[in-house]
Structure 1
Amino acid sequence: MSNVTAPTVSTRRWAGLVFISIAVALIIVDSTIVNVSVPSIVRDLDITSTQVQWVQESYTLVFAALLLVFGTLADRYGRRRLLITGISVFAAASVLAALASSGNVLIGSRILQGVGGAMVLPTTLSLINATFRGKERGFAFAIWGSTIGGMVAVGPLLGGWLTTYYSWRWAFGINIPLAVIIIVGVLLCVAESKDAGPPRRLDVVGAALSIIASASLVFGLIEGRSYGWWLTNTAHAPVIGTWTWPFALSPIPITGAVTVVSGALFIWWGIRRQRAGKSTLLAFSLFAIPSFRNGNIAAMIVSLGEFGIILSLPLWLQNVLGYNALQTGFVLLALAIGSFFASGVAGAFSQKVTPVTLVQVGIAAEILGVTGLGLAIGSTASWVTIVPFLFVYGIGVGLATAQLTGVVLKDVPVDQSGQGSGTSSTARQIGSALGIAVLGTILFTSVGASLDTRLADQFPGLPESARSQIVDTVVVSAGGAIPGLVEENPEIGNAARDAFSDGTRYSALAAAGFLVFGLLATLRLSGARRPEDVERVLEEETVD
């Protein structure tokens, strides 16, 4: 009987991994599929550049803020149950996004999608951690990580095809049939798992503090260029209904203070509860494990550099080079091909070099690719000069993402896999959110400054008011106004193309700089656990 049952259980387990990977693909694709659709959304819904960032950022921000909460809930109440719930919420939000009639409605739908996505990502990791052992677990993590790396680029291709031949709304509508497939597959092939014993109470205070800290941080980074980093920009002061921000001090320093205070309180509160033997949102004892602690630091920094550049490239390819959404997707497909190629390379060398080495090689390839992109970007560039660097960048994403996940979680106890995966995913998503916020700010600030300087130098007789209006139009439209300017006045339009290329270049080079710091962070990664670390973790788990 056992000879028949074992292969059946094994087959079901691997089939379950397929549906888990599709679930990961769904939420990761949705973080990038919108990128190539942004110009069409701008034209259709008449949204501003700040709203463009929020269409991207609202999803990622809520995603990051809730990962720890849902990772903990998955451990306590059932990982498969929360995965199915998350997919259902995500699908419902996708319907609302597809039917959105304004930028604010679309942003609200993206927020709800972020809630569903936050339920899905940590549960997929913890299900893998609980289902697979030994070498099988490493292989399963590699599939999970390669799926993320590949979907980052497949999303723009799929979004480009749907936007070009149908509508940007189908970039959201396609989630519905995929969600149905995932739910059926997970119910049939994935076994439920959760912590043994009765569920402990959720740390509500810790959850609230973590949400406040992450939300205020990203809000400040995105809105700083509009509201003013220190003093209020009266032309763009915050408005709620009929009330306008009346203070000279911008709200951004205030949100920064909220970030610092809430972050410090979150750590203090969590350690205090842990020492009292109470449940915590974050398993602080896991940070005694070097691979977990150092891996999460590296993952956050690397994600900051990785995903921020995906915001600016589609805007540049369409508004400056004149590609349509589908052509843009094909250009970015080079990234996906490189990522999938990397999974084969990692498999071939997995027995010859350590996972940490593969991570470091991957980040080095990312640095090379992004730096090459920065140097190749220009108003006269073409896909021929861009694709090779995207391919190299994709190889790096595939190697780093797949292997780094395994390094971070390989020493995490199974009964804390939800908290561990939630922490790991949170580190990545905070990095991604910061990347979009920071590099988006660099992009639009640089475009504005470069265009203002170019117009002043090339058109000295142009009134300052007219110059400011042109700059504002290009920046607020996220470059969408450039094709119209080229038709109306080729010289001014070309100055705008050059300026947007400058901003995209600076954004790429800034991403490369962050990746350098990420590479330096991996130098502290270790594949072994020190005896004193093991004893400390076991002692704290006994107390809990």
Structure 2
Amino acid sequence: MTAPEPLELKSAAGRGVLFSTILASGMAFLDGTIVNVALPHIGADLNSTVAGLQWTINGYLLTLAAFVLLGGSLGDRLGRRKIYVIGIVWFTVASVLCALSPTIGMLIGARFLQGAGAALLTPGSLAIIQASFRSEDRGRAIGMWSGFSGISTALGPFVGGLLIDALSWRWAFLINVPLGVLAILASLRWVPESRAPEANTRFDVTGAVLAALALAGITFALIEAPDDGWGAPLVVGAIAIGIGCAVAFVLVERHKGDAAMTPPTLFRSRVFTVLNLYTVAVYGALSGQSFFLAVMLQNVAGYDAFQAGVATLPSTVLMLLLSARSGELATRISPRWQLTIGPVIAAVGMILLRRVGPETNYLTDVLPGVLLFGLGLVTLVAPLTTAVLGAVSMEHSGIASGVNNAAARAGALIAIAALPLLVGLTGESYQVPAELTSSFRSAMLWCAGLMVVGAGLAVFFCGGVVAAMWHRAVTFATTPNHSVHPVQDKP
């Protein structure tokens, strides 16, 4: 199939495509915000341990991180709208299973399925915009998509908190049903089908499965070791599977070359390799902070779900208001400085959040840390995304974006698995205020440390090379007819 006739943004069909992609991607963003807020309620209702809460988040992240590149390839080859709609249906059905889960085990299983649906959905929205609009409208369409998708993230704390407090945590998932149905109908009505004629006819299923098993084995060991011990047969077996599959993944990808899910040629660029390590560190810190803070505000500070969600809203507002300006600034001063300064600012915010406790005053104990954390994210996110694209040749930009997205998910996955182990939070101790407070304050130090590691990578390994890569990225971003199939923004 050849590419459809390019659409004008001001046309009815163009507005329909934009509405469809905003609605579905917004649903995925909304889900992430709400589930974090719902964790204490899920734990109390389903009698979950810390490990259960970790798997509630990590089950989703695991399948999303492992299969997002495969999902993008399926869309390019079999039809972007087809795979996109399948992803929305899959995500919506899995959301219903999450809501109906009577036990924490069934909820975790449904979250694995939900992540697989997201892996089909996530790469599609921006790829559809890229393929559907004429070149002169494409940049504006992507900008509008980014803005409205960000608004859905901002609405998450309000909508989710109200639903959870008034009804149940199950509505954190049931809200996806009307949104999913509307997104399906809108996609079938307005989104044109498109494929990439040059797409590889073979899918790297082996690479995707090995990546999933490697991440699953390591994650399982980190989560279960505090309760079972490092010598437990299941933990030892998980470590062996994780390491073995990781080694096999590297060997298989090297053997497949450019046909691999993650072509080894990408990592010949030192800057690309370092920027992905940077991504693992900073997004691990971001996810660890979000996981602990949502539980801390409710189980120790006494906030309800709505208040806990709204408490972190200033970070989102800063992202919405200042991200574009951050990107513009980086074109003038080189992204190296923002990639260095941003994590340091975020780290200071995390250290300030250690003031949260039983007698928390929002204005003095929460807001300063939240504002600095948000300012740090604003400073680093936009330069990081485009610098990653600029670190490789243009023909590899689509897969480079996907690899970086997967790195962000993997960083979140490992951080949420490892942090409770590092700070001694096990069993049901998250329901004991004194123990949770001690663990939370230690976790904020670990998260701040990860941010500082990111800053160090930017200072010592990227150097002036990033500036040259940035100029290449700007050229890429302003080229109207490049054949790129980007993946969804990470935050």
Q: TM-score, normalised by structure 1?
A: 0.76
Per the alignment, residue 273 of structure 2 pairs with 293
Per the alignment, residue 50 of structure 1 pairs with 51
Gaps of 5+ in 1: 233-249, 448-474, 483-496, 531-544
Q: Residue 95 of structure 1: CA displacement?
A: 1.1
Q: Does 1:369 align with 2:349?
A: yes
2:312 alignment partner, SS class: helix
Q: Residue 58 of structure 1: CA displacement?
A: 0.9
Per the alignment, residue 454 of structure 2 pairs with 518
Per the alignment, residue 285 of structure 2 pairs with 305
Q: What number of residue pairs does the alignment pair up?
A: 460
Q: Mark the CA change 1:366 to 1:127 in structure 2 (over 3 Å): closer, same or farther.
A: farther
1:223 alignment partner, SS class: helix
Q: Does 1:477 align with 2:419?
A: no
Per the alignment, residue 311 of structure 2 pairs with 331
Distance, in Å, in 2 between the alignment partners of 1:140 and 1:409 is: 19
Per the alignment, residue 383 of structure 1 pairs with 362
Cα displacement string for residues 206-229 of structure 1 (whole angstroms, at most 9, x for unaligned residues): 222112111112111111212212
Per the alignment, residue 468 of structure 2 pairs with 528
Distance, in Å, in 2 between the alignment partners of 1:330 and 1:166 is: 18
Q: Mark the CA change 1:438 to 1:430 in structure 2 (over 3 Å): closer, same or farther.
A: same
Contact 2:8 2:137 in 1 (8 A): no
Residues 336-415 of structure 1 correspond to what in structure 2 (within 5 A)?
A: 336-346=316-326, 349=329, 352-374=332-354, 376-384=355-363, 385-410=365-390
Cα displacement string for residues 234-274 of structure 1 (whole angstroms, at most 9, x for unaligned residues): xxxxxxxxxxxxxxxx4323322322221122111111122
Per the alignment, residue 408 of structure 2 pairs with 428
Per the alignment, residue 236 of structure 2 pairs with 253
Per the alignment, residue 247 of structure 1 pairs with none
Q: Mark the CA change 1:405 to 1:134 in structure 2 (over 3 Å): closer, same or farther.
A: farther
Contact 1:129 1:137 in 2 (8 A): yes
Q: Which amino acid aligns with 1:513?
A: G
Contact 2:8 2:134 in 1 (8 A): no
Q: Does 1:227 align with 2:228?
A: yes
Q: Does 1:67 align with 2:46?
A: no
Contact 2:429 2:436 in 1 (8 A): no
Cα displacement string for residues 120-171 of structure 1 (whole angstroms, at most 9, x for unaligned residues): 2233354456568999877777766777777666534432211111211111
Cα displacement string for residues 459-487 of structure 1 (whole angstroms, at most 9, x for unaligned residues): xxxxxxxxxxxxxxxx533533x4xxxxx
Gaps of 5+ in 2: 471-491
Cα displacement string for residues 33-85 of structure 1 (whole angstroms, at most 9, x for unaligned residues): 12222222223222222212111211111211212322222232223322221
Per the alignment, residue 84 of structure 1 pairs with 85
Q: Mark the CA change 1:123 to 1:362 in structure 2 (over 3 Å): closer, same or farther.
A: farther
Distance, in Å, in 1 between the alignment partners of 2:58 and 2:304 is: 23
Distance, in Å, in 2 between the alignment partners of 1:339 and 1:9 is: 25
Q: Mark the CA change 1:427 to 1:152 in structure 2 (over 3 Å): closer, same or farther.
A: farther
Q: Which amino acid aligns with 1:477?
A: E
Equivalent residue for 1:438, pick from 392, 397, 418: 418
RMSD: 3.1
Distance, in Å, in 2 between the alignment partners of 1:133 and 1:8 is: 6
Contact 1:37 1:168 in 2 (8 A): yes
Q: Which amino acid aligns with 2:201?
A: R
Q: Which amino acid aligns with 2:358?
A: S
Q: Residue 424 of structure 1: CA displacement?
A: 1.8
Q: Which moved more, 1:214-223 or 1:31-40?
A: 31-40
Q: Which amino acid aligns with 1:352?
A: R
Q: Which moved more, 1:46-55 or 1:86-95?
A: 46-55
Contact 1:93 1:109 in 2 (8 A): yes
Q: Mark the CA change 1:362 to 1:131 in structure 2 (over 3 Å): closer, same or farther.
A: farther
Q: Residue 510 of structure 1: CA displacement?
A: 0.4
Cα displacement string for residues 261-305 of structure 1 (whole angstroms, at most 9, x for unaligned residues): 21122111111122xx7x222222233445543332221211111
